[in-house]
């Protein structure tokens, strides 16, 4: 069971309820005369971006329910891993239907012992249980081997550029919130093509951010802290062409980072990536076996519950993970993923760096929806070079040991929408944290969130936003001289309640909200 939050956090929750009785609006994103959102632009045309394409199917699409084609019951003794893997592979060998679905493996109620790793490695396959409670379907990761217990997605694949399709972006400046840009020519490109917008990381840009002169970690030898290097922070932003008008390309989602000719501009190219499609994990409980009494020291056990990677239109719903250090992670090559109505409980690990990450969005078009965590270090977080759009909506991290927010090394286009963290919400210059994290990111938005402490700093060339939040605005831990980001209606929640849901309804209509449970 989840424990009650601290008294201070409970007071913040009570204050939020009182403040919500008469919500304000923010000029940065407020309903206009026709009811649709209007956005304030800065001097270069940048606004809060549209996040509504995040999630399975591009947002506003109900998760599918695949038919059961294999059913297993737990064995009275011994390891169940081989039987489960065989069933997953058998379903993966079936011919897909018109939507690419093959079917679900149903694990009936009971406990399944797994000493190794399970892999959902073919498209159109779902692993399903009969409940995420202790009396439902429980997969127990046994033994002392550190591992990911359940991996979902293709392996041994990578993105490949289509030769001869790279085109130079000709705009002097492209705002981070735009869907459109100009290229030198469009031959070889067509509406519906998947393309990459390649935004380089030049020495000039790194110098502008100050990431070539990060302070060395105190009390360590010189050179311990690593500077950012040109070429190591390139962003390969995947988008779909929705229109071509002359030399102008229109995409399905904003770029989420400004393209500036002063810092190398950008280019566009078509690509191929043999991801899995239509994979899901649902309605079960994953538990990591550990040595009782060593809840803050035992690390010799299954450490991460679920990885989604090299998968498109993948999902995890109605899943509880218990005693893992890592929870449910949508990794860098995942696309259009939803993690929905899930819970992260009672992690077991040393309480230090690299541990207790509950819900992670490192890929693109990811959505974490109505999920909760206890005793995490980073309840809702992103890693390095994250390209967005990604959304965390309606979640709580209680008894947190550290913060929620972009964790390290530049994540762009992330929305924290009605997120509650019992300790901190931060987007800041992390300087020498880790081996030299530096700026956590830009175009991160905290919208109607609650936390005792909130840090929102502005990186050069970018912006971060805190709108309608409740909690104390505090200086950054590492760089107290950094400029503040946009802070508006602090202490007073704003209308609309949810930025993501409003943007989604404006793009697709109210049926899109019903499809995802609103």
What is the model's pLDDT at position 172? 98
Residues 6+ apart with CB under 8 A from 109: 129, 130, 131, 135, 136, 137
Q: And the tokens for 339?
A: 């993690």
Residue 428 near residue 453, CB atoms below 8 Å? no
Residues 6+ apart with CB under 8 A from 54: 365, 366, 367, 389, 390, 391, 415, 500
Q: And the tokens for 297?
A: 């020291």
Residue 150 near residue 129, CB atoms below 8 Å? no
What is the model's pLDDT at position 2? 37
Residue whose C-alpha is closest to residue 176's, from 49, 294, 280 = 49
What is the model's pLDDT at position 18? 52
Residues in the chain: 518
Residue whose C-alpha is closest to residue 23's, from 510, 507, 488 = 488
Query: 244: helix, coil or strand?
Result: strand
Question: Widest CA span of the chain, in angstroms?
Answer: 68
What is the model's pLDDT at position 17? 54
List 337's β-bridge partners, or say none. Answer: 314, 366
* Alpha-carbon radius of gyration of the chain: 23
Residue whose C-alpha is closest to residue 473's, from 460, 491, 459, 458 = 491
Rounded to 10 degrees, the C-alpha dihedral 306/307/313/319 comes to 10
Residue 424 near residue 403, CB atoms below 8 Å? yes
Q: What is the mean pLDDT of each run of 10 residues along the chain (518 residues)?
A: 46 56 88 95 98 98 98 96 98 97 98 98 98 98 98 95 97 98 96 98 98 95 94 98 98 98 98 97 98 97 98 98 98 98 98 96 98 98 97 98 95 98 98 95 98 98 98 95 97 98 98 98
Residue 375's Cβ-count burial label (10 Å; 0-12, 13-18, 19+) is buried
Query: 207: helix, coil or strand?
Result: helix
What is the model's pLDDT at position 23? 81
What is the model's pLDDT at position 209? 98
What is the model's pLDDT at position 408? 85
Q: What is the DSSP letter of 99?
A: T
């Amino acid at each position: 069971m989840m424990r009650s939050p601290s008294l201070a956090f409970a007071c913040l929750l009570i204050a939020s309820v009182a403040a919500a009785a008469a919500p304000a609006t923010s000029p940065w994103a407020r309903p206009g005369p026709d009811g649709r959102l209007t956005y304030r632009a800065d001097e270069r045309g940048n606004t809060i971006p549209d996040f509504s394409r995040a999630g399975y199917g591009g947002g506003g699409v109900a998760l599918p329910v695949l038919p059961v084609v294999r059913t297993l019951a737990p064995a009275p003794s011994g390891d169940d891993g081989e039987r489960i893997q065989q069933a997953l592979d058998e379903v993966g060998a079936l011919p897909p239907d018109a939507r690419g679905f093959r079917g679900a493996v149903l694990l009936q109620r009971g406990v399944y012992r797994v000493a190794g790793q399970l892999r959902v490695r073919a498209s159109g396959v779902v692993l399903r249980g009969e409940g995420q409670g202790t009396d439902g379907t429980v997969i127990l990761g046994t033994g002392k081997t550190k591992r990911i217990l359940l991996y979902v997605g293709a392996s041994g694949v990578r993105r490949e550029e289509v030769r001869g399709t790279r085109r130079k972006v000709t705009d002097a400046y492209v705002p981070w919130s735009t869907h459109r840009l100009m290229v030198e020519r469009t031959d070889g490109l067509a509406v519906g093509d998947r393309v990459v917008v390649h935004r380089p990381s030049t020495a000039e840009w790194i110098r502008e951010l100050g990431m070539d002169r990060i302070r060395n970690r105190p009390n360590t030898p010189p050179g311990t802290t690593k500077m950012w290097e040109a070429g190591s922070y390139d962003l390969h932003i995947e988008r779909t062409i929705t229109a071509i008008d002359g030399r102008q390309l229109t995409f399905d989602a904003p770029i989420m980072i400004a393209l500036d000719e002063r810092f190398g501009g950008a280019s566009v190219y078509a690509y191929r990536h043999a991801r899995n499609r239509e994979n899901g994990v649902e309605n079960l409980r994953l538990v990591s076996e550990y040595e009782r009494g060593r809840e803050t020291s035992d690390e010799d056990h299954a450490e991460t519950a679920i990885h989604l990677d090299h998968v498109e239109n993948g999902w995890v719903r109605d899943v509880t993970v218990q005693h893992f250090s890592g929870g449910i992670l949508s990794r860098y090559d995942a696309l259009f993923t939803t993690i929905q109505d899930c819970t992260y409980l009672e992690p077991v690990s040393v309480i230090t760096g690299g541990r207790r990450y509950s819900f992670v969005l490192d890929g693109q078009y990811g959505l974490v929806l109505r999920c909760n965590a206890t005793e995490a270090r980073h309840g809702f977080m992103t890693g390095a070079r994250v390209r967005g759009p990604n959304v965390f909506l309606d979640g709580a991290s209680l008894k947190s040991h550290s913060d929620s927010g972009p964790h390290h090394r530049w994540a762009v286009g992330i929305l924290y929408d009605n997120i509650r963290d019992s300790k901190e919400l931060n987007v800041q210059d992390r300087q020498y944290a880790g081996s030299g994290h530096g700026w956590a990111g830009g175009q991160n938005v905290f919208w109607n969130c609650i936390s005792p402490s909130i840090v929102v700093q502005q990186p050069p060339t970018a912006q971060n936003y805190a709108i309608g939040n409740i909690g104390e605005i505090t200086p950054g831990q590492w760089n107290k001289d950094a400029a503040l980001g946009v802070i508006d209606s602090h202490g007073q929640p704003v209308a609309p309640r949810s930025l993501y849901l409003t943007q989604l309804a404006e793009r697709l209509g109210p049926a899109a909200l019903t499809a995802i449970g609103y």
